[in-house]
Amino acid sequence: MRVIKRIKWAGWVALILFSAVTLGAIYHLVSPEIEASSGTNQITEKEEKRQDFSEDASLNVRTETKETNTYTMSISMPTLKSKSLDTPIKEWIEQQKSVFIEEVERNNAVLSADNLAYLTIDLKVETAGELYSLLFTSYQYVGKGQPTQVFKTFTVNMRTGESVQLHDIIHLNDQTSGTIRTLIKDQLMGREEWKDYVREDVLNEKLSDLDDLKWSVNKQALDIFFDQYEVAAGSVGGIEMKIPLEALRSYLNPTLLNNAQLEHMTSIEKSQLDPNGKYIALTFDDGPSPKVTPRILQTLKQHGAKATFFMLGKQVETYPQIAAQVANDGHEIANHSYGHPKLTKMTSQEMIKEMSEANTKIEMATGIEPVLFRPPYGAYNSDVVHYAKMNDYSMILWSVDSLDWKSRNSAAINDIVTNNVTNGSIVLMHDIHASTAEALPELLVKLKAEGYQFVTVSELLMLQNENGAGPHFGHVS
Ligand code: ZN
């Protein structure tokens, strides 16, 4: 998805000064405290009321976390006022837990602090009129083999409390079913990252009864989900696709989804994020690196978090598989120049070469053409802005500098970030320092407990409806 941003000059200088002064001050005030790390079998439970989900609080979500010396578990547990759904949801979660625990016990010998098993079940809620769709994403690693991603969806009519099936919202007959099958197949076979990995016979089988599909609905689209390994090779990961309701309009059940409740998509690039949500874009610069990047990827996966990696062309050239892994995990890949020079000291020609060589290496390794550019050291002048814009890049700076490059201390990194983030922040970190990888698990737990979700920079810009090539900073309050 290309997000093209146009330049907004106003306020840059103020923002730079503000961030520099504030962060500088805070950095000096915060003494790096090492928290007494508690040992094993610690169980923490957090209650979190998500009133934005429903005005009458008929949907509450509680996050239960558990840490032992062999695994971590973080599970979002909703309580609905729906008898027909509360039980199946509970049963599904219990089943995920018990299968996981069994596997963990079986693999006990290979599990340790360096090889922790994990089960993370995240919940996303989408609404369309009276319909609430609950999407659970379960990320699991049992100590051996590859982590896996599994989806589960439930849709409920909040007025009646009844569970809703696909045939309740779409009039399914031979013709409409055929259209939906075609829409799904076209997307799977048409997308570069999926088409060579899809097993068509398995897919046809899965599409034979559309009521068996995992789906959720919002005001713009019907989303369809396939687990990792379900219809494609495991390397593809879980598959999520959107069918615009526009394409299904004449088949929709008018009592459940009438025109007034739906939003016409003005563009396929419309942000899917909740405008009332709290979002942060974590960014990692100067990698990929063989020692740190994989650790960061594992932590992000464990928390269902997405981030943006500003890669150096030189590093991508040396470690193309790690770059590809970052892309496969669904993170945003961005350009941070080829060799990390100070662009402001270069001729235009050298500058262009730095950008385009990095672009080429990234595209060769990941198949992705980045749309975001961050100049090394955040150093730019009008030439840098000009060439970034010419190449359709959005120039991205940051609003919170973790100073991880300076402190190399995980507690200090956590303090700076947690004390400075606000909704819409872009956080600068580096996936080349072990201390950054070390800081991340606790940081994500803390920020999640405050209600933050972690998205890519492009997603954040779409949500903020930002126009312009940049430079962009996260919101600074
Ligand atoms: Zn850098």
* DSSP reduced 3-state for 318: helix
Whole-number pLDDT of residue 4: 33
Rounded to whole angstroms, what are the CA distances from 173 to 21, 86, 164? 63, 30, 17
Selection from 186-195, 378-387, 438-447 with the highest mean pLDDT: 438-447
**Percent of the chain at pLDDT exceeding 90:** 48
Q: What is the whole-number distance in angstroms between the Cα of residue 26 and the centre of ligand 1?
A: 22
pLDDT > 70: percent of the chain: 82
User: What is the tens place of the pLDDT at every residue in 355-383?
Assistant: 999 999 999 998 888 999 999 999 998 88
Rounded to whole angstroms, how far apart are CA atoms 78 and 21? 42
What distance in angstroms lies between residue 377's CA and the mean position of ligand 1's atoms?
Answer: 6
Give residue 27's pLDDT band: very low, low, confident or very high (50, 70, 90): very low
Assess whether 303 carries a catalytic annotation. no
Q: Kindly tell me if the per-residue pLDDT of 340 is higher than 70.
A: yes
CA of 4 to the centre of ligand 1 (A): 22
Tell me the residues surrounding ligand 1 (ion) with CB < 5 Å. 285-286, 376
How far is residue 292's CA from residue 312's CA, in Å, rounded to a whole number? 15
The pLDDT score that the predictor gives to residue 270 is 46
Lowest mean pLDDT among 27-36, 259-268, 326-335, 380-389: 27-36
Catalytic residue among 122, 168, 227, 285: 285
Q: Which domains does the chain have, with CATH numbers?
A: 42-164 (3.30.565.40), 167-259 (3.90.640.20), 270-463 (3.20.20.370)
Mean pLDDT over 62-90 rounds to 86
Note whether 272 and 128 are within 8 A (CB).
Answer: no
- CB neighbours of residue 335 within 10 Å: 30
Q: How many CB atoms lie within 10 A of CB 266?
A: 8
Q: How confident is the model at residue 127 (pLDDT cuts 50, 70, 90)?
A: confident
Comparing 415 with 127, the larger pLDDT belongs to 415
**The pLDDT value given to residue 382:** 86
Average pLDDT for 320-325 = 94
169-178, 228-237, 245-254, 381-390: segment of lowest average pLDDT? 245-254
Q: Which of 74-88, 91-105, 197-211 has the lowest mean pLDDT?
A: 74-88
For every residue of 172-194, DSSP letters joined together read --HHHHHHHHHHHHHHHHH-HHH
Maximum average pLDDT range among 206-210, 246-250, 464-468 = 206-210
Query: pLDDT class for 32, splitting at 50, 70, 90?
Result: very low
pTM greater than 0.75 (yes/no): no
User: What is the pLDDT confidence band of residue 30, given thresholds at 50, 70 and 90?
Assistant: very low
For the chain, how many residues are written? 477
Rounded to the nearest angstrom, the distance between the alpha carbon of 395 and the centre of ligand 1 is 14
Asked which of 17-26, 43-52, 260-269 is least confident by mean pLDDT, the reply is 17-26
Choose the catalytic residue: 331, 336, 430, 433.
430
Q: Ligand 1 centre and the CA of 167: distance in Å?
A: 51
Distance 402 CA to ligand 1 centre (A): 13
Residue 97 above 70 pLDDT? Answer: yes
pLDDT of residue 173: 87
Mean pLDDT of 216-229: 90
Is 80 exceeded by the pLDDT of residue 243? yes
Ligand 1 mean position, distance from CA 431 (Å): 10
| 285 noted as active-site residue | yes
Residue 212: per-residue pLDDT: 92
Alpha helices (H) along 303-430: 313-318, 320-328, 348-366, 382-390, 404-407, 410-420
Residue 348 has what pLDDT?
86
Q: What is the mean pLDDT of residues 300-318?
A: 95
Q: What confidence tier does 301 reach under pLDDT thresholds 50, 70, 90?
A: very high
Q: What's the pLDDT band for 271 if we cut at 50, 70, 90?
A: low
CA of 339 to the centre of ligand 1 (A): 9
pLDDT for position 150: 92
Angle between helices 293-302 and 320-328 (to 10 degrees): 10
Nearby residues of 340 by Cβ (< 8 Å), 6 or more positions away: 286, 312, 314, 376
Q: How far is the CA of 10 from the centre of ligand 1 (A)?
A: 25
The pLDDT score that the predictor gives to residue 466 is 63
List alpha helices for 247-339, DSSP H: 293-302, 313-318, 320-328
Please provide the average confidence, as pLDDT, over all residues in the chain.
82
Q: Report the range out of 24-33, 155-164, 252-261, 277-286 with the highest average pLDDT.
A: 277-286
